[in-house]
Chains A and B, each alone.
Chain A
Amino acid sequence: SQQGEEDPQALSIQEGENATMNCSYKTSINNLQWYRQNSGRGLVHLILIRSNEREKHSGRLRVTLDTSKKSSSLLITASRAADTASYFCATGGHPETSGSRLTFGEGTQLTVNP
């Protein structure tokens, strides 16, 4: 079964608005990552947050992590049409139990309308 579950499954907004996507997971993690996938392409890494961190920023991206609720959110500010893509969260377990594997959620399809 999938470790991460994204919410919502699909999100449609206007250019300039903020987009928020959420990810919930079930088991203890070492880190949580967000990836973007443009249509017909491979996934591209966006940002990583470790289990002892609560918030990270990268450009227009802000990621939060609440380990007590086993959830994370990705905020994209001032969205652009080029942000249209699917966004996936991926959880990394503790190395001694899950080695180098990442487990991906089902993704959120974001559409930014010009």
Chain B
Amino acid sequence: NAGVTQTPKFQVLKTGQSMTLQCAQDMNHNSMYWYRQDPGMGLRLIYYSASEGTTDKGEVPNGYNVSRLNKREFSLRLESAAPSQTSVYFCASSVHGGVSGANVLTFGAGSRLTVL
């Protein structure tokens, strides 16, 4: 079982470049999430998708776009990267979505992004 797979694991960009982080899960989970982790800030939610076909902003959505391509895949796009987006990005998924109550997240291994 692969669980949640993120690509790439590492990426270096120049300011203004664009890129897409890919995420796929093989657990038939309804909900998927993108978080960023910065030192001293914990994990902050960027965007999430409660179910296929829906996406919603999280705490820090500015500068990012997402696509829920199908039930398995949820991508995060940086259209014009900025140094403030240097971070470790985590994709996660959960069984429940919407009004079902508690959601236990399964995380990917993370993608470390550096913007110069």
Q: What is the 8 Å Cβ interface bit string for chain A, positions 75-92, against chain B (1 contact, 0 not)? A: 000000000000010101
- The A9-34 residues at the B interface (CB cut-off 8 A) are 30-31, 33
Number of interface residues of B (CB under 8 A): 33
Contact A33 B40 (CB under 8 A): no
Contact B56 A43 (CB under 8 A): no
Contact B104 A88 (CB under 8 A): no
Contact A100 B42 (CB under 8 A): no
CB distance from A108 to the nearest CB of B (A): 11
Segment among A44-52, A57-65, A66-74 that sits at the interface with chain B:
A44-52
CB distance from A109 to the nearest CB of B (A): 11
- Could you say which residues of chain A place their CB within 8 Å of the CB of B50? 99-100
Q: Is B19 an interface residue (CB 8 A)?
A: no
Q: What is the 8 Å Cβ interface bit string for chain A, positions 91-105, against chain B (1 contact, 0 not)? A: 010011001111111
- The B12-27 residues at the A interface (CB cut-off 8 A) are none
**Which residues of chain A have a CB within 8 Å of any CB of chain B?**
2, 4, 30-31, 33, 35, 40-45, 48, 50, 88, 90, 92, 95-96, 99-107
